[in-house]
């Protein structure tokens, strides 16, 4: 009887990273190994800062088997040798699954990075049901790491409750990674960030959102997209359901100053350089 071939390591590809500049906290990486996505955490004082930005050549071999989800690498203080531990714990995912379409994150072809969590991707027929009619370019928004899951959870829930309201871009489906939901797809709409000249229509849109019981939570000018179809609201990471009237009143009153703010507070889709 022939024995099984020995397990061979696969070279990982970095999909996302969060590197601590001061090397005081763990640096985190989202990796593709074969057809799976895994996670890597590197303890402080393991590598120098330049290596943390490009760590692949310095990593010990990581197995390609399904027996781990998170690898932790650190340096032994006594011997200075690299140490690796593997964990197979289940990773948190978005629980609010309400749309019929489910797309594998590895099938998305990114064309432009918009924020750390959002990017433009090519829309093609294999992603959607045969009857789907949509744009050539779509927007994907995904949690790169577990600590971003609550943001995507709130936003996914908001899109569910605002479906058909006309206040948001069209929600096109959920994005999964190894079976767990980590993000969503929505249509790309052409438009511009709102300004003080758009105060009336933005107040009307925000007022309609409040009538539905929602507090936006980050009503800066970049989260109001002025389109040919009217104002569309973006970025519901900080939204609240069943908000109290006082918080909604304050949000509406602050809208004028928000629309005159040029820098914004990081909301909306702001183009960033793609460092990967």
Q: Select the more confidently predicted residue: 148 or 261.
A: 148
Q: Mean of the pLDDT values across residues 159-183?
A: 96
Whether the predicted pLDDT of 1 surpasses 50: no
* pLDDT, position 34: 86
Instruction: Give residue 126's pLDDT.
Output: 79
Looking at residue 10, its pLDDT comes to: 61
* In the predicted structure, residue 270 carries a pLDDT above the cut 60: no
Cβ burial of 26 (10 Å; 0-12, 13-18, 19+) is: middle
Q: Give the span between the Cα atoms of 211 and 199, in whole angstroms.
A: 18
pLDDT of residue 268: 52
What is the model's pLDDT at position 89? 94
Is the separation of the CB atoms in 31 and 39 below 8 Å? yes
| Predicted confidence (pLDDT) at residue 190 exceeds the cutoff of 60 | yes
The structure's pTM equals 0.86
Mean pLDDT of the 12-31 span: 93
The per-residue pLDDT for 63 is: 81
Rg (CA), the chain: 21
Give me the helices (H) in the chain, please: 49-53, 149-161, 199-211, 245-253, 255-260
pLDDT digits (tens, 9 = 90+) for 209-249: 999 999 999 999 999 999 999 999 999 999 999 999 999 99
Least confident residue range of 108-122, 153-167, 257-271: 257-271
**Are the C-beta atoms of residues 209 and 223 closer than 8 Å to each other?**
no
pLDDT at 273 over 90: no
The arithmetic mean of pLDDT across residues 138-153, rounded, is 97
253, pLDDT greater than 90: yes
Cα gap 14→30, rounded to integer Å: 6
Work out the percent of the chain whose per-residue pLDDT is above 70: 89
For the stretch 76-107, pLDDT in tens is 999 999 999 999 999 999 999 999 999 999 99
pLDDT confidence band for 64 (50 / 70 / 90) = confident
Tell me the backbone φ, ψ of residue 151, rounded to 5 degrees.
-65, -45
Question: What is the maximum alpha-carbon separation in the chain?
Answer: 78
* Residue 2 burial (C-beta neighbours within 10 Å; 0-12, 13-18, 19+): exposed
Q: What is the mean pLDDT of the chain?
A: 89
- Please report the pLDDT score of residue 134 as a whole number: 66
Tens of pLDDT, residues 109-121 = 999 999 999 999 9
State the DSSP code for 196.
G
Q: In what order do the strands lie in the sheet with 180-187?
A: 102-104, 171-177, 180-187, 137-142, 118-122, 110-113
């Amino acid at each position: 009887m022939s024995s099984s071939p020995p397990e061979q390591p696969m070279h990982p590809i970095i999909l996302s990273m969060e590197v601590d500049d001061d090397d005081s906290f763990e640096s985190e990486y989202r990796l593709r190994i074969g057809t799976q996505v895994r996670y890597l955490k590197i303890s402080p004082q393991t590598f120098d800062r330049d290596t943390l930005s490009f760590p692949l050549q310095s990593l010990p071999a990581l197995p390609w088997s399904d027996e781990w989800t998170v690898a932790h690498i650190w340096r032994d203080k006594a011997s200075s040798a690299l140490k690796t531990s593997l964990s197979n714990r289940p990773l948190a995912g978005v629980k609010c699954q309400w749309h019929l379409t489910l797309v594998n994150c590895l099938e998305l072809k990114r064309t432009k990075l918009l924020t750390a969590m959002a990017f433009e991707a090519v829309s093609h027929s294999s992603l959607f049901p045969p009857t789907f009619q949509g744009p050539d370019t779509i927007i994907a928004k995904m949690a790169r790491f577990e600590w971003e899951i609550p943001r995507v959870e709130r936003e996914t829930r908001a899109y569910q409750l605002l479906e058909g309201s006309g206040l948001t871009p069209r929600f096109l489906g959920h994005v999964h990674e190894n079976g767990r939901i980590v993000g969503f797809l929505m249509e790309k709409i052409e438009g511009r960030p709102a300004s003080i000249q758009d105060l009336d229509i933005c107040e009307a849109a925000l007022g309609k959102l409040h009538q539905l019981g929602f507090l936006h939570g980050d009503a800066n000018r970049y989260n109001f997209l002025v389109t040919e179809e009217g104002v569309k609201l973006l970025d519901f990471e900080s939204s609240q359901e069943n908000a109290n009237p006082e918080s909604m009143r304050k949000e509406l009153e602050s809208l004028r100053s928000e629309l005159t703010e040029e820098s914004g507070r990081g909301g909306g889709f702001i183009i960033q350089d793609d460092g990967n």
